[in-house]
Structure 1
Amino acid sequence: MEVTKLEHACQIVTEGSARLVIDPGNFTRPVDVTGVVAVVVTHEHPDHVTPEQIRRILDANPGAVVIGPAGVARALAGAG
């Protein structure tokens, strides 16, 4: 397992060819990775999640899921 720390709160955990992205917020450069199976968001503050980052990751990884508390789901649903 490899853990890569990006700017601010974002981390990418890699195990084999599978990746988990944690807290891709607005203080993090665009996360353009493949092999993402899930995005974990700890809470809905913009420094931990932004709809643009989530959309970019999901577009590149159509089978990936987003995991987080209800506030995150509401924030992302409200952003389309």
Structure 2
Amino acid sequence: MTSPHDPPDGAPRTPPDARPRAGDQMLSIIGFACAAMALLFIPILFGLAGVVLGIVGHTRGEPLGRWAATAAGAAMLIGTLLGIILTTT
């Protein structure tokens, strides 16, 4: 007995633990890009956006999501410190 969600006969079945492709990690990749932008431009905005994208990516199962959120948070702090140092001197 087949259900409507089963693939048709002869169609390849994907295992449930298949590794995600690079396109499946789009939120994490954008989170890393926001982390890089946070070092140079508006660290609070881009850093926070990168943290949110990394967390959302992690909750959706992206393996790089946690790292993107961490990198964006660190870049936000470093970018803010650089901005303070460069504007006070």
TM-score (norm 1): 0.32
Which structure's relative contact order is higher, taking Cα pairs within 8 Å and 6+ residues apart? 2
**Which is strand-richer, 1 or 2?**
1
Which protein is bigger by CA-based radius of gyration?
2
**Which is helix-richer, 1 or 2?**
2
TM-score (norm 2): 0.30
